[in-house]
Homo-oligomer: A and B are copies of this chain.
């Protein structure tokens, strides 16, 4: 995976920290230390998954779409949802080989198992709980 999960977590934790306020992409980018456009792109995705709401125009910006207690870290993980935990099985193995012929299917089954374990684990933690760790 890439750094997108970390960015989404950072964004959402910030929004919880400043709940009640509307945060601009510039402000958020300043905390993460990345380009504001990346923040807007990432939030565009979080909006699609109903985790964040935005307001356009002057004094516009972002807020959480629902209470942090109702956002599970697994929701964030699924929203970011890039590639699998164990990587991709991008190879195009030899179909004339018994192992090559079936390896992708078997690996994908394994990947799915692990993915579910991860989601279960992250489903135990809400954004509110994650945020409580910040002293």
Contact = CB atoms under 8 A, between A and B. Distances in A.
Interface of A: 1-7, 9-10, 13-14, 17, 30-34, 73, 77, 83-94, 97-100, 102-103, 106-107, 109-110, 113-114, 117-118, 120-122, 125, 130, 133-135
Question: How many copies of this kind of chain does the complex include?
Answer: 2
A117 B86 CA distance: 13
Contacts of A87: 1-6
A10 B114 contact: no
Nearest to A131: B99
B121 A17 contact: no
Contacts of A73: 110
Nearest to A100: B31
